[in-house]
């Protein structure tokens, strides 16, 4: 049987509970969807623990073929959905251990994970897993906030600090970290300096709009090259008119079309993992945020499929050169 099951094989409302009704296991899997339902490190709204099931439900309306990238991503990657990590809702450090273990096991097996959060604190565990397998990695971080604030009410581990903790733990190649889409009001004039002082490159939404997607992606590709790269996407990167179901809203972001255009331009990177975080179903009554999140995950999978195609073609090219 081919996966994912399409609506002309089984109606959209007949769900198996997995992303696009993917199986939980199959031979030669190269891609895995993983639920990361931890949200008690959030500073304002909570509810992102329900995102994995909501995004999976929204994925039922998607079809398997990507017409822009011209791939059947989930079929070509033998994709699976392994369900949710059994996090501890009141204990961030034990949850980190569980998430890191699950993600590292997948990466060690040569499977690229796509994590569905959860608040943005889960990314620290994902980066710990990535660094354990690949060493310090490059990072593409799409967000309206830098998440490099040191503490919140004297707590060092929360959804506003994963990328300063990742720096301190040596998980990232700082000169190959891009934080894109930053916008909104700040607590202090120097808030963005908390990222640039770490060596990260910050590209605000106004800068992205002024320069254009092609110019920004060209810079990112030139800098990161073939370095193993993790992509973390906070749904509040998108303007709240298109993604209202999130925890800390910031107006003035890209719309859904521009967001997909940006993601679809990210071919050619050596992606080793992804996560999509901060979807809050309780604040998403029409499910447009969950649907956008599911579509973005479809696009992540398409980038992986393109990467696998390129790797399959590489030996042929090398043999011709030799």
Q: Which residues are annotated as a binding site?
A: 120, 143, 145, 147, 234, 236
SS3 129: helix
Contacts of 40 (CB under 8 A, 6+ apart): 46, 89, 90, 92, 119
CB 103 within 8 A of CB 34: yes
Which residues are bridge partners to 155 per DSSP?
Answer: 152
Binding residues for Mn(2+): 120, 143, 145, 147, 234, 236
**How far is residue 215 CA from its own chain's centroid?**
22
DSSP conformation class of 236: G
CB atoms within 10 A of CB 207: 14
Tell me which long-range contacts 133-136 makes (C-beta under 8 A, separation of at least 24).
133/104, 133/107, 133/108, 133/272, 134/107, 134/228, 134/272, 135/228, 136/170, 136/171, 136/172, 136/173
Burial of 215 (0-12, 13-18, 19+ CB in 10 A): exposed
CB 304 within 8 A of CB 112: yes
Q: Which helix (H) or strand (E) holds 165?
A: helix 162-168
CB atoms within 10 A of CB 167: 18
Place of tokens 């092609």: 214
Burial of 227 (0-12, 13-18, 19+ CB in 10 A): middle
Place of tokens 């011709």: 320
DSSP conformation class of 281: G
């Amino acid at each position: 049987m081919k996966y994912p099951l399409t609506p002309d094989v089984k109606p959209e409302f007949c769900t198996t509970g997995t992303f696009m009704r993917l199986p939980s296991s199959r031979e030669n899997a190269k891609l895995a969807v993983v639920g990361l339902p931890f949200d008690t490190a959030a500073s304002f709204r909570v509810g992102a623990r329900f995102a994995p099931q909501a995004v999976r439900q929204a994925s039922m309306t998607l079809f398997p073929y990507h017409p822009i990238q011209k791939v059947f991503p989930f079929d070509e990657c033998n994709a699976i959905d392994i369900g949710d990590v059994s996090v501890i809702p009141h204990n961030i450090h034990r949850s980190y251990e569980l998430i890191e273990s699950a993600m590292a096991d997948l990466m060690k097996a040569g499977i690229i994970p796509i994590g569905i959060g959860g608040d943005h604190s889960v990314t620290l565990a994902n980066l710990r897993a990535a660094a354990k397998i690949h060493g310090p990695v490059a990072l593409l971080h799409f967000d309206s906030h830098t998440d490099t604030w040191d503490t919140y009410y004297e707590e060092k581990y929360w959804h506003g600090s994963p990328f300063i903790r990742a720096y301190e733990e040596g998980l990232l190649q700082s000169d190959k970290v891009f934080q894109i889409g930053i916008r909104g009001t700040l607590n202090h004039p120097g808030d963005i300096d908390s990222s640039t002082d770490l060596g990260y490159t910050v590209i605000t939404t106004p800068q992205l709009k002024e320069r254009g997607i092609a110019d920004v992606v060209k810079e990112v590709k030139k800098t990161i090259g073939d370095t193993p790269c993790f992509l973390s996407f906070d749904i509040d990167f998108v303007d709240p008119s298109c993604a209202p179901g999130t925890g800390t809203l910031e107006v003035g972001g890209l719309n859904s079309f521009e967001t997909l255009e940006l993601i679809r331009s990210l071919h050619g990177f050596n992606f080793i993992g992804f996560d999509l975080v901060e979807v809050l179903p309780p604040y998403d009554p029409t499910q447009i945020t969950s649907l956008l999140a599911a579509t973005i995950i479809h696009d992540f999978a398409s980038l992986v499929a393109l990467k696998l195609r390129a790797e399959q073609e590489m030996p042929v090219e090398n043999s011709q050169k030799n």
